[in-house]
Structure 1
């Protein structure tokens, strides 16, 4: 479970996030959408403890991220949009390293690594150096690393970057299976089609504030539009139709 309570984050005179509150229950795949500069990355970094909030509280599985950082981080897996991997390690060695950071019981490490490499179709590459991996393979390795300690909550920023259609479908399947087993997933993405296909619940942030949240059907009613796909609903709610109309005009 994720609880974001009256979260505000300021950088000097700039307020990136203003008094947002969200409660995300166990087993939900939650989509977090917004235009560039809306406050998504700031929220995510605060959620995983990389930034300290100016005001407000973030709790992961009941642990206050600021007051109980180690306990909170033990139950969360983070998949950033621009991950760093040690290229001179093999995939297996990298997962062993991450397992050590999370203090995974040694007797469980090799079994989990084998399961994850198989799950993400990396078994044949487990003993190859990461520098030989394609971008999509690196993305799948990072996802494997985020799951090595079996977190109850996963926070993911742009999960499908660099994945081919087969890889993207595999990740969708894995995420859904995890949620069905009770894992909570907080996912930020610019790919609205992905959000529409995957998410149980969606929040839209603009200029640092939550302007809408709900199911696709609920957002459709809120937007008061005859359009039914998430892209049109998103543009209606964020005022993006003006730019869309300009682009269509230029095309003609």
Structure 2
């Protein structure tokens, strides 16, 4: 008897989305292996957030499919969303709740019983160094604390796949290092992480796979070593995306 093949954690098949006359995503296809830490990089307006929103059931694509562990996100949304935790960029939280209440609310919505939610909430607040802020309203959190409480909400139901849109933006270096440790432990435990980030250095150090996206298309995808070739990921990114002008600035900025 042949062993069962493990489907990809996430498979995108020709995803496309238009906003008015602007094509935001133009037929993106990607395969994210189970157990990988996958970086998604691209300039502002490249289509990263739109792609991740379509992949996780937040935004309906005009064309294409998104499958989480082989389950079509738009044909079977309830089953697919049970498998994924999402930290979405720019999506409002219920910030008139305390941090503890927000995690609890999210866990109960995911179908967990109250005892399990309470135990996991305490673990997450401790793990993310938010224990003292658990009784503070989220509206009073700093930007970095807000990112961390959103990550706690994405983790509370123990998903198989984590999709994180700019998770390190506004996060201090110590918290960022702690979050990286948490995500690496999640991957070692069999989970899969997708990280959208502008930090090439962070992606190169943290991820084993990467895709470069620009103008709604995939320019390169594969392992980090395959994509960057013999250079750094940042140099390869600039080469693929283009646009660097090597400007020195106007003469009126010179003081010598």
TM-score of the pair, normalised by structure 1: 0.91
Go from structure 1 to structure 2 and tell me whether the alpha carbon gap of 1:35 and 1:123 turns closer, same or farther (over 3 Å shift).
Answer: same
- The aligned counterpart of 1:35 is 43
Give the corresponding residue for 1:204. 212
Conserved 8 A contact 1:6-1:20: yes
Which has the larger share of helix? 1
Partner of 1:236: 239
Partner of 1:127: 135
Q: Which moved more, 1:5-14 or 1:71-80?
A: 5-14
- Choose from 77, 82, 86 the match for 1:74: 82
Regions of 4+ moved over 6 Å: 248-252
Find the aligned partners of 1:187 and 1:149 in 2 and give their Cα distance: 19
Distance 1:146 1:246, change over 3 A: same
Shift of 1:111: 0.7
Post-superposition offset of 1:219 = 1.7
Aligned residue in 1 for 2:125: 117
For residues 155 and 247 of structure 1, the distance between their equivalents in structure 2, rounded to whole angstroms, comes to 38
1:85/1:50 CA distance change after superposition, 3 Å:
closer
2:175 counterpart residue number: 167
In structure 2, how many angstroms separate the alpha carbons of the residues matched to 1:216 and 1:75?
A: 26
One of 128, 133, 146 as aligned partner of 1:138: 146
Alpha-carbon distance in structure 1 between the residues aligned to 2:136 and 2:104: 14
Residue 189, structure 1, aligned to residue 197, structure 2: yes
Given that 1:63 and 1:71 are in contact with CA atoms closer than 8 Å, whether structure 2 keeps it comes out as yes
Question: Distance between the aligned counterparts of 2:248 and 2:166, measured in 1?
Answer: 25
Q: CA separation in 1, counterparts of 2:234 and 2:250?
A: 19
| C-alpha RMSD of the superposition | 1.9
Measure, in 1, the Cα distance between the counterparts of 2:123 and 2:174.
19
Shift of 1:248: 7.4
Quote the Cα distance in structure 1 between the aligned partners of 2:93 and 2:186: 24
Deviation at 1:217, TM superposition (A): 2.0
Q: Deviations over 1:90-138 (max 9, x none)?
A: 2111111111211112231111111111110111221222233222112
Selected match of 2:160 from 135, 139, 152? 152
Q: Does the Cα contact within 8 Å between 1:81 and 1:161 map onto a contact in 2?
A: no
Are the aligned partners of 1:34 and 1:190 in contact in 2 as well (CA < 8 Å)?
yes
Rounded to whole Å, the distance in 2 between the matches of 1:247 and 1:35 is 21
* Structure 1 residue 208, shift from structure 2 partner: 1.3
Question: Does the 8 Å contact 1:83/1:142 carry over to 2?
Answer: no
| Structure 1, unpaired ranges of 5+ | none
Report how many residues are paired. Answer: 245
Deviates more, 1:74-83 or 1:27-36: 74-83
Offset at residue 14 of structure 1 (A):
2.9
For residues 67 and 250 of structure 2, the distance between their equivalents in structure 1, rounded to whole angstroms, comes to 46
Partner of 2:4: none
Q: Is the 8 A contact 2:49 2:89 kept in 1?
A: no
Q: Which structure 2 segments of 5+ residues have no match?
A: 1-8
> Is the 2:39–2:210 Cα contact (8 Å) retained in structure 1?
yes
